[in-house]
């Protein structure tokens, strides 16, 4: 689909096309910040602010503390251990948030159900690089599309074969692969009871299995 076709499809008037094209160009050039990335940065900012606030409070308490040197050393050691544990906890939480955001961005627009598909990724096998790139994400996404293609949309399928059961004329069957009636439970049941019909209905909905 061309940009002009897209603008026409979503109802952009001809006199507004130039402005819309500039907006799309900004998006494609990377100037647009996805909501998932915005939430990620915002969460990092809040975590950093809370951490700095906690450290300032701890330093103020130590500055006003009275007692022998050994007691102060013990208190400092306790604070160091607490801060280390808290840092590890925050780092783990931020890593998980970054991985989740990257997965959401990667499957946006292609997954039938983003919650189901994102839950199939094995985050323990994903590596977060220093440059922010996720190593192993593309490989897992490709493997999922190959093994569970019915969970992803297929816009390339223009001609959709219609399933016609052998003999007789049965009633209409609700298609669990169609967007409006998508149902994973019914898909699994159909695969067990009638694989041929399942493949035909999937193809009719534009899904390759």
What is residue 94's predicted lDDT score, i.e. its pLDDT?
85
List, for the chain, all residue ranges whose pLDDT scores fall below the cut of 50.
26, 28-33, 157-164, 166-171
Please give the biggest Cα pair distance in the chain.
Answer: 95
d(C-alpha 147, C-alpha 151), whole Å: 10
What is residue 10's predicted lDDT score, i.e. its pLDDT?
62
**3-class secondary structure, 3:** helix
Paired tokens of 106? 């990667």
What is residue 145's predicted lDDT score, i.e. its pLDDT?
93
Find out whether 72 and 58 touch, Cβ atoms under 8 Å.
Answer: no
Write out pLDDT tens, residues 165-190: 544 444 456 888 887 888 888 888 88
What is residue 157's predicted lDDT score, i.e. its pLDDT?
46
What is residue 101's predicted lDDT score, i.e. its pLDDT?
87
Show me where the domains of the chain are located. Answer: 35-148, 154-209
d(C-alpha 163, C-alpha 125), whole Å: 40
Paired tokens of 71? 């007691």
**Per DSSP, which regions of the chain are E strands?**
127-128, 134-135
Consecutive H or E run containing 57:
helix 35-63
Paired tokens of 193? 């009871």
């Amino acid at each position: 689909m061309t940009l002009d076709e897209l603008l026409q499809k979503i109802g952009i008037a001809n006199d507004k096309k130039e402005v819309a094209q500039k907006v799309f160009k900004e998006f494609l050039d990377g100037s647009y910040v996805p909501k998932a990335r915005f939430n990620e940065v915002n969460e990092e900012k809040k975590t950093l602010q809370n951490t700095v606030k906690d450290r300032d409070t701890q330093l103020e308490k130590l500055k006003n503390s009275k007692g022998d040197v050994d007691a102060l050393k013990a208190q400092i050691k306790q604070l160091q251990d607490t801060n280390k544990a808290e840092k590890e906890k925050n780092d783990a939480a931020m890593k998980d948030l970054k991985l989740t955001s990257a997965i959401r961005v990667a499957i946006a627009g292609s997954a039938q159900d983003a919650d189901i598909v994102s839950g199939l990724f094995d985050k323990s096998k994903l590596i977060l690089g220093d440059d922010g790139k996720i190593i192993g994400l593309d490989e897992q996404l490709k493997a999922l599309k190959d093994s569970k293609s019915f969970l992803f949309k297929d816009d390339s399928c223009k001609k959709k074969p219609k399933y016609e059961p052998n003999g007789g004329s049965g009633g209409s069957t609700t298609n669990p692969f169609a967007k409006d009636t998508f149902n994973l439970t019914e898909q699994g049941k159909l695969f067990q009871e009638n694989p041929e019909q399942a493949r035909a209905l999937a193809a009719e909905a534009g899904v390759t299995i």
